[in-house]
Structure 1
């Protein structure tokens, strides 16, 4: 390589630098590799992660970043006197230099210059200078995926230069000199028509006409056998000219004669980039990283719902990286989910690609498989981007995948295309909704920053209503241009729902776009999709979905997977399935078209599933509780087995929102007995988890339902439970009204058991109002009735309340006596909840009587039991109680610990008054330390 007293960085061979014609090794092999990577991307920033990946490969050492910094410091010193500098730029590094100081870029510049020469002799001189820069294997010291991709790309560039060199050599009459080289190339590349033409011309000019014609026949036979095609027009024409000894083929004629030379026309089929593309930073980063890491040879399967912005993402990214695909870009809409419902035949797409690649019609084989083989051959050595948009299936895509490993393929589909990933190594890239910030940026791009700022309230509401769905955001924003106030557009969406997102143009109508996803589904799958739209709760698990659809477990799982594969469902963590709000709204409209018996039976089955599983969970949480009687599940419905108390809590925690929604559905469907049964089955869970507001809501709904039920016990129970819920919320007048009503109804119907329960709830309501004496009277009444009815479990709980109230009235000896009796009863009944309550009461009594160490022991036992039961509400109260004997014992650190934990839990449970009390106790403790 010519140095002319300048530093030159070598890439086309061993990585080194030249200074004043003398080799000057940079040093460590990795250090030279860092220089090579920067040189290959001269004047372009290479991110640090890409540098490490390109130099060390997929498993860099932990010290790679620190070692890289050392190497770059040495490189700066080595280049200090040159025209090249290495500088930090953002998150990467750049080698800033004139391109002729890097042999790779100098080669490319010389080759382009040669192609621009009119004189073949001058072109030959320049291309030989370019080829002389090669000194062996490029990037020989690197064996990373990036280096391999670059070497393959450079091999093709060198081969193109060699082929052009031979054309110019032939034009200069050097046919005898190049003939040996051409013969070897023809043996290595028997299907390359351009090389065949060069061999034929060299042989003819060397006086070997028969050999030239025989070589043509051998090539023709190869083409027919391998690809099913005849030689192209250019080679055929050269054959005819040799047959007739065309005088223009004389070596004295300096006009270049080529066959199959590269066309100057490169396919540029990409549609225009989206003007208002915003966000998707993470997805763009993934695409960029793959391109940087692996060169151009990569396949991505970009999946997502209709209208989610898959094509926009692809086009936005592609137009930002056109320079990486110098051989062109191919694009086809495979119409997998289009208005006419007819996906593009892949054979039609292949034919379109052959036309775009400039293949003459008479060279295109008739057989579709031969056409696909020809397509793969033509793009196998190209650096091209191939976009397969809106694919229906993996089978539709497969014939369009290029040969070789040099093209980037981006496939978009509503299907997940698992086969493309499994069989062809495609990278799945699922596309979800926009974030609120991205949605805001999109609206700014459409409506302008000033208008968005002026309508900030309605902008926020629009973003919430569209929930990040790009097509929906775009539709509403478009209607707000230029004259319709944004407030009116948002109001229409709020009031009309999905109808506000309809349009005459089906491609701009969200209902129409979503409807195309249903065309490939079976009747069973479409019915399941519709039913999922009306299922209770924000998402659904497989057991509930099985009851909803009435399908066997295995078939239900297959149906859900099929809906997820076409992006109508999202398969989320924990084995649950969810719909975007707008997709669900569309599913709901489809559900209204189902026959009423089908829709009604599905809701009955899923509501029964939630009721019966909740009932089973409640029995695990509180087996001593008097249980209600349930009717058998609706035909086709079932419950989910729960192994133990932990499984019960886990299921109730996960399904709580769905259970509330199931009660609402039952109320809407006038299944009144299920409304109050669900409220009853949820009560233990609500009390133990601190869901006070939800407990109030379900019992208000239950009380309304009991007006339609003949069972008086349901009415008494609803008044009593609702009164307790009001008392827990501090709404004392309403609590008293319902609890007095419950007691009156129980007495009217001569139901002593319900009377005892009503007395018990009244005692609690009066206690929280600091009316201890009246509370004690009701507690004693409850105890007397339970004792008379020989209800030992409830007698123990009544003793708890009498002990607690007696202690608060200063009757400590009486309270201790009741505690001892109650503890024995609870243990005989295996009632851990009752035992935990007694330990709490005993701790309070000991603390009040100065026995603080014993109080700590009782509270710790209570805390252990409540944690075991999952009763977070009571456990939080015990934590607060425990802080008092700790403080009295001077154990301030322990007191601080339990009160801080109690404070946090009270806040989580929404118990603000309790939280404020503990906050004051913490402040007092700090002041006394």
Structure 2
């Protein structure tokens, strides 16, 4: 191994080897090292490092510069005598191997946990000594000199832990009768942090036990005044209870020789909070097996179950949780964080923590008011336990982070639609992205409703119309059960009508439309506009230039917005090769997007958006024929985009056919004719055939009313060959 490093974060960032300081040069290197130290033994993605160094505005060479920083750190460590790797490359980023080295922040949390364990065993003096040694590791402001939002956020968390540890140390010293020695330092602490109720309570108790009852009451009144003036609320019940006890000279406040420690909260039944799973569930065999792997690891394990609206994320989490419940003897916790609930605000993590603490028998009066203290108490309760924690419907890492256990053999399942990169990078979460069910699984999910008439053709058709989306399939099955006089074929006829499809799958204002609306509301205005306009196109898939055409924007802007739709799980990537990404809608999502276009886009705007897309297809198809560039919006180089004409046409062929058909339905005969002509000629280059004469086109001014039967018949004749 060679040299053992001591990494110091509880103050200015410092690395020592054998008492000598190891130089870490440059602000970027220090930020990269800080990020790796904040996640010891876990992979930190390159994207997270880039974001930390440049605060969301990186240069084009950002990823390369991160690699240079890591190389510089490795060189410095080797120069200090370390023969083994300290930082390794691990997709999608880097990992700091901390097991053979010392990190003061890690040691601090370990010593605090050991002190708490001693306190639970009644070893008050040992616990106080342990807390004192932990606090002695601090040398100043966390990571002083290293800036950045992510670093500062973690520094704030560690500072909160320090204050909580100091308050706990003070409580232990009060139990040991050191009240007189504490008054001075507690007075300074309350002055610096006047809203920390635990610190104020310790000062009041120290003053009271020192015979300074009036000062203790004034300490309460001063705090109460500040709470009312700044927040319009009274202090918490614990502080008010101590105030009443001091007024009444409660005998329990006196410290007597051999006074027993306050008993732990009364034990309650092991929490079993998992809701009842739905009646319909099928498939997901591979996903269930993957989740089983969480049971074999050491330490806390996290899985992030993600996917589009209605894909069955919660159902999978509950099914697996109930199947393995006996593997978690210390209980199963569940909370709906309401990240995508249109009827209520997202749940606050501090409220979820309060519920979890109550589940483990903590009385309301013992639940800390401070969110950081709640989180610390929660982690302490779960330390050494084996508990399943299901955090459902999460919208952000800020909702999830306070609810993650710090140690123990606990397993956490997080479900959500948005990408929560911090879970994957900082916490090495297992990522499960759910996709639609197969046709056979969909028919199985329809269950008895699909089999009651033995009409497997209708069942298969309904499964196709629902696109394998479990929510849509469950709604369909429920409707058939509720209306026994309906035939399966009748429901299929209703759902086949695209204009009323979402109505049939969203009874009572709930169902598919409500679920998709929750994702749609979170989009930026530009992204929402693109989503709606893309829904106007009835094509199987499309490239990013289609987004630029319907939005009438540049290609780079359209690509960025389309990726936002992918991240929001409203658009899928159908294929990606050599940066030529193609996208597609789930069929129900396209219905939803088109519905939004009809609601918020005028008919002229919608027609113009489609016309721009059709015209761009014509320009690209014509370029594929003669290799001459065409002028189109967005600065797109048609020759560069087409590349190999044969390959381009093969990729676009199904979408070209669909675009021709849609242009005809919309009365846009001229672009339909131009595109059909170019496509027919491209097809002829692949397999020589006699070309049907193209009908003579009248003047361009006549194009807006091109609906002559001769031209339509010619296009229709070509369509069969193009589609074959």
TM-score relative to the length of structure 2:
0.62
Distance 1:499 1:211 in 2: 65
**Matched ranges for 1:606-755 at <5 A:** 606-620=613-627, 636=633, 639-643=636-640, 647-690=644-687
**1:147 maps to which residue?**
none
**1:477 maps to which residue?**
477
Q: 1:608 to 1:196 in 2, by over 3 A?
A: closer
Greater percentage in helix = 1
**Matched ranges for 1:506-905 at <5 A:** 506-507=509-510, 509-574=511-576, 575-593=581-599, 594-620=601-627, 636=633, 639-643=636-640, 647-690=644-687
**1:93 maps to which residue?**
none
Superposition deviation, residue 215 in structure 1: 9.2
**2:374 maps to which residue?**
371
**1:41 maps to which residue?**
none
Superposition deviation, residue 376 in structure 1: 3.4
Superposition deviation, residue 615 in structure 1: 0.5
**Matched ranges for 1:85-100 at <5 A:** none
Distance 2:637 2:470 in 1: 38
Superposition deviation, residue 341 in structure 1: 5.4
Q: How many residues align?
A: 527
SS of 1:481's equivalent in the other structure is helix
8 Å Cα contact 1:525-1:563 kept in structure 2: yes
Distance 2:273 2:584 in 1: 37
- C-alpha distance after superposition, 1:291-329 (max 9, x if no partner): 32x246122222222211111011111111112322222
Distance 2:534 2:487 in 1: 35
8 Å Cα contact 1:547-1:638 kept in structure 2: no
SS of 2:639's equivalent in the other structure is coil
Q: 1:588 to 1:720 in 2, by over 3 A?
A: closer
Superposition deviation, residue 614 in structure 1: 0.7
- C-alpha distance after superposition, 1:407-461 (max 9, x if no partner): 32222112122243234333322111111222122122x538x526x22222112
Superposition deviation, residue 722 in structure 1: 8.3
Superposition deviation, residue 372 in structure 1: 3.2
Check if 1:315 corresponds to 2:318. yes
Distance 2:558 2:308 in 1: 21
**1:451 maps to which residue?**
452
8 Å Cα contact 1:325-1:384 kept in structure 2: yes
SS of 1:658's equivalent in the other structure is helix
**1:348 maps to which residue?**
351
8 Å Cα contact 1:537-1:661 kept in structure 2: yes
Superposition deviation, residue 269 in structure 1: 2.0
8 Å Cα contact 1:198-1:259 kept in structure 2: no
SS of 1:290's equivalent in the other structure is helix
Partner of residue 429 from structure 2, selected from 426, 430, 446: 426
Distance 1:318 1:456 in 2: 33
SS of 2:401's equivalent in the other structure is helix
Distance 1:280 1:440 in 2: 15
Distance 2:344 2:175 in 1: 56
Q: After the TM superposition, which segments of 4 or more aligned residues of structure 1 sit over 6 Å from their partners?
A: 156-164, 189-193, 195-200, 215-227, 704-711, 717-726
Distance 1:279 1:217 in 2: 65
Distance 1:471 1:691 in 2: 48
Superposition deviation, residue 478 in structure 1: 0.9
Distance 1:380 1:386 in 2: 13
Q: 1:244 to 1:549 in 2, by over 3 A?
A: closer
**Matched ranges for 1:153-164 at <5 A:** none
Q: 1:315 to 1:607 in 2, by over 3 A?
A: same
SS of 2:452's equivalent in the other structure is helix
8 Å Cα contact 1:533-1:584 kept in structure 2: yes
Q: 1:411 to 1:704 in 2, by over 3 A?
A: farther
Check if 1:275 corresponds to 2:279. yes
Q: 1:214 to 1:674 in 2, by over 3 A?
A: same
Q: 1:708 to 1:598 in 2, by over 3 A?
A: closer
- C-alpha distance after superposition, 1:851-898 (max 9, x if no partner): xxxxxxxxxxxxxxxxxxxxxx9xxxxxxxxxxxxxxxxxxxxxxxxx
**1:878 maps to which residue?**
none
Q: 1:218 to 1:440 in 2, by over 3 A?
A: farther
**1:213 maps to which residue?**
177
8 Å Cα contact 1:608-1:633 kept in structure 2: no
Distance 2:697 2:656 in 1: 16
**1:289 maps to which residue?**
293
Distance 1:481 1:719 in 2: 45
8 Å Cα contact 1:296-1:383 kept in structure 2: no
Superposition deviation, residue 582 in structure 1: 0.6
Distance 2:681 2:326 in 1: 66
Q: 1:198 to 1:245 in 2, by over 3 A?
A: same
Distance 2:299 2:444 in 1: 31
SS of 1:592's equivalent in the other structure is helix
8 Å Cα contact 1:608-1:638 kept in structure 2: no
8 Å Cα contact 1:536-1:665 kept in structure 2: yes
SS of 2:339's equivalent in the other structure is coil
8 Å Cα contact 2:532-2:596 kept in structure 1: yes
Superposition deviation, residue 161 in structure 1: 11
Distance 2:182 2:670 in 1: 88
Superposition deviation, residue 480 in structure 1: 0.9
Distance 1:579 1:723 in 2: 26
Superposition deviation, residue 389 in structure 1: 1.3
8 Å Cα contact 1:642-1:648 kept in structure 2: no
SS of 1:276's equivalent in the other structure is coil
Superposition deviation, residue 273 in structure 1: 2.3
8 Å Cα contact 1:382-1:406 kept in structure 2: yes
Distance 1:704 1:469 in 2: 47
Q: 1:704 to 1:562 in 2, by over 3 A?
A: farther
SS of 1:571's equivalent in the other structure is strand
Check if 1:259 corresponds to 2:263. yes
Superposition deviation, residue 566 in structure 1: 1.5
8 Å Cα contact 1:283-1:429 kept in structure 2: yes
Q: 1:242 to 1:607 in 2, by over 3 A?
A: closer
Q: 1:363 to 1:679 in 2, by over 3 A?
A: same
8 Å Cα contact 1:476-1:490 kept in structure 2: no
RMSD: 4.9
Distance 2:113 2:377 in 1: 21
Superposition deviation, residue 279 in structure 1: 1.1
Q: 1:691 to 1:457 in 2, by over 3 A?
A: farther
8 Å Cα contact 1:675-1:705 kept in structure 2: no
Distance 1:211 1:392 in 2: 43
**2:13 maps to which residue?**
none
Distance 1:619 1:587 in 2: 36
8 Å Cα contact 2:311-2:471 kept in structure 1: yes
Check if 1:188 corresponds to 2:126. no
8 Å Cα contact 1:302-1:413 kept in structure 2: yes
Distance 1:566 1:720 in 2: 42
Distance 2:390 2:697 in 1: 58
Q: 1:535 to 1:343 in 2, by over 3 A?
A: same
Q: 1:708 to 1:487 in 2, by over 3 A?
A: farther
